[in-house]
Chains A and B, each alone.
Chain A
Amino acid sequence: MREPSRAHPVPLAESSSVHIRFDHLHKKYSGYNEVAALKDISFEVHRSDIFGIIGRSGAGKSTLIRCINMLEKPSAGGVYIDDNDVGLLDENELVAQRRRIGMIFQHFNLLAAKTVRDNIGLPLKAAGAPKAFIRERVNDLLEMVNLANKADVYPANLSGGQKQRVGIARALVHNPEILLCDEATSALDPETTLSILDLLRKINEKLKITIVLITHDMSVIRNICNKVVVLDHGEIVEQGDVWSVFGNPQADATKALLSPIRHDIPDDLKQNLAHEISPDSSGRIFLNLTFSGEEQEEGVPLATLLSISPDIRLLHGGLDRIQGHSQGNLLVSAPASVLNSPVFQYRLSTQSIKVLGYAPDDV
């Protein structure tokens, strides 16, 4: 693929500079019931970040991402792109700004009456670009998203993944510096989701575009984001590097969102567990070991497990390597006698080990 020329080259020196800044952003929907959709949102997105915004339905993430390109006007506070307040732009300036921000959508939002080629070329056509230039640019993009053979097909004849590829090509047609993804994979099956995320990652690496995405799916964040903000009821409840938020979630909303990809105690085990240890410390103890990734840059040494007891058994769980940090949780069983060990007692106090319960014999 030919490297598209950038209208606004990004100097490498700026690669870690602040690109988008939210400054005490508020959004209220007035009406019969006044609803505060966003409350005092402040955070920064750096250049070339893949920045995730996650929250449950109604948390305000859609509103938040739409404040970046002023599809939603903030009620107070502002959004700054390269230190320019987007809210102060007049109509023509806003149009120019939006051409530097691509956006893709959950339901793709392709025009049914236009072919793939015309859908992708529309933003350029509306901007008055010459026909030959549009044709060439669209061909390049079609190749990049692997749809060169679908140029003259109508969107109705495409699969969901193909539609989203068209959406991505259309969003990139103006060589934007920012790509907004509004639940871009929520309508796709898991396999297609992975291929779209892969494409987004490639785009981010190749074109150094800053990507802001919203999702309710933690695995999307885990897959491609480096930074994450967790929204709940219009407020930021947690933010940081993805590995640290995943490894050590603090807010209830984060924990709830993480639960589908966490390894909780399986029901069959849960039913057999007693909460009281037998008086003679016989039987086995069930433990949940959490690895936040802070210390385990080179993985979790098996010795860590064996130091609990040579007779430790892995039951359930898993580790993920996120941004070079191995983290996750493991459910293990060990002889109940380990409770008497001072080392074990010490580690219990560090809270990376939690006692789930006891069983008189092997389960």
Chain B
Amino acid sequence: MPLTMFDRYLRALNETLLMVGISSVIAISCGLLLAVTLVVTVPGGLYPRPKFNKILSIIVNMFRSVPFIILLVALIPVTRFLVGTTLGTWAAIVPLSINLIPFYARIVQVSLLEVDKGLIEAAFAMGLKRHHIIWHVLLGESLPAIIGGMTVCVVVMISASAMAGAVGAGGLGDLAIRYGYDRYETKVLFDIIIILIVMVTIVQLTGEKLARLTDHR
């Protein structure tokens, strides 16, 4: 039985949600970890490791400077090693995640650095250990910014996932290009644009709401 157009939309939406969902979870958790590492290892930080910090920062910048479409191709060997294939949705999750980790890490890093030094000093004075300070002070106080950053991250992820068609990952972007562009089916193109707008709006509004709920300043 041939697939109806509705089935195609549904499948593409599924693929996009899967790619964006899993990649976001990976990128956000790894990005958080990377951001904390970057912040605490600076000279004068909680766990100062100046050389390590410098190297890590350079690596982050390297990844940040490669456009996603190029990263997608350049990471093929890594993808093959990690998921065993270079085609399909799962193959797109690897470059999507790796692309977003440094991006999210930098967003979080900025907000962690903005935490008042007086709070860290007070935490030391009250007998908190360093890992408590990371959890309760650095992360706790930047929670609204961390959530705000997640919103930005997921939105960028949705747009990047459109390019994942290049490795046969499918998804809404792929559908839009194959039908809307290659076959001149303008309706498909606009339908997908509307679906994407709705998705991004939902993500944005949810993110803003969550950030507001956690912001007690």
Contacts and interface: CB of A to CB of B under 8 A. Distances in A.
A109 B116 contact: yes
Interface of B: 116, 118-119, 121-122, 124-129, 132, 136-137, 140-141, 143-144, 214, 216-217
Contact of B129 (A95, A111, A156, A180): A95
A180 B127 CA distance: 14
A103 B126 contact: yes
B216 A112 contact: yes
A103 B128 CA distance: 13
Given A71-B121, A112-B217, A98 B126 contact: yes
Query: Secondary structure at chain B's binding surface: helix, strand, loop or mixed?
Result: helix
Contacts of B125: 69, 71, 98, 101-103, 180
Contacts of B126: 98-99, 102-103, 122-123, 126, 170-171, 173-174
Contacts of B217: 112, 156
6 contacts: A95-B129, A99-B127, A111-B141, A122-B126, A122-B128, A126-B132
A270 interface: no
A124 to B, nearest CB: 10
Interface in A95-116: 95-96, 98-99, 101-103, 105, 107, 109, 111-114
A105 B118 contact: yes
B121 A156 contact: no
A122 B141 CA distance: 13
Contact of B141 (A102, A113, A174): A113
A156 B215 CA distance: 10
Contacts of A344: none
Query: Secondary structure at chain A's binding surface: helix, strand, loop or mixed?
Result: mixed
B4 to A, nearest CB: 50
Contacts of A96: 127
B124 to A, nearest CB: 6
A63 to B, nearest CB: 13
Contacts of B124: 69, 71, 98
Contacts of B118: 105, 107, 109
A175 to B, nearest CB: 12
A182 to B, nearest CB: 9
Contacts of B119: 109, 111
Nearest to A171: B126
A111 B127 contact: no
Contact of A114 (B122, B127, B140, B144): B140
Contacts of B216: 112-113, 154-156
A35 interface: no
A209 to B, nearest CB: 15
B148 to A, nearest CB: 14
B122 A103 contact: yes
Contact of A113 (B127, B129, B132, B143): B143
Report which residue of B124, B126, B132, B137 has the largest number of chain A beta carbons within 10 angstroms of its beta carbon: B126
Contacts of B141: 111-113
A348 interface: no
A127 interface: yes
A114 B128 CA distance: 16
Nearest to B132: A126
Nearest to A114: B140
A226 B22 CA distance: 64
Report which residue of A107, A114, A122, A174 has the largest number of chain B beta carbons within 10 angstroms of its beta carbon: A122
A113 B213 CA distance: 11
A156 B118 CA distance: 16
A280 to B, nearest CB: 66
A111 B141 CA distance: 7
A103 B143 CA distance: 26
Contacts of A156: 216-217
A112 B129 CA distance: 20
Given A96-B127, A113-B140, A126-B132, 7 more contacts: A71-B121, A111-B141, A112-B216, A114-B136, A154-B216, A155-B216, A173-B126
Nearest to B130: A91
Report which residue of B132, B136, B216 has the largest number of chain A beta carbons within 10 angstroms of its beta carbon: B216
Contacts of A71: 121, 124-125
A126 B116 contact: no
Given A95-B127, A109-B116, A111-B141, A126 B122 contact: no
A99 B129 CA distance: 11
A126 B137 contact: no
B182 to A, nearest CB: 50
Contacts of B140: 111, 113-114
A53 B144 CA distance: 39
Interchain residue pairs A-B with the least CB separation, the first 4: A109-B122, A99-B127, A154-B216, A103-B125
A165 to B, nearest CB: 15
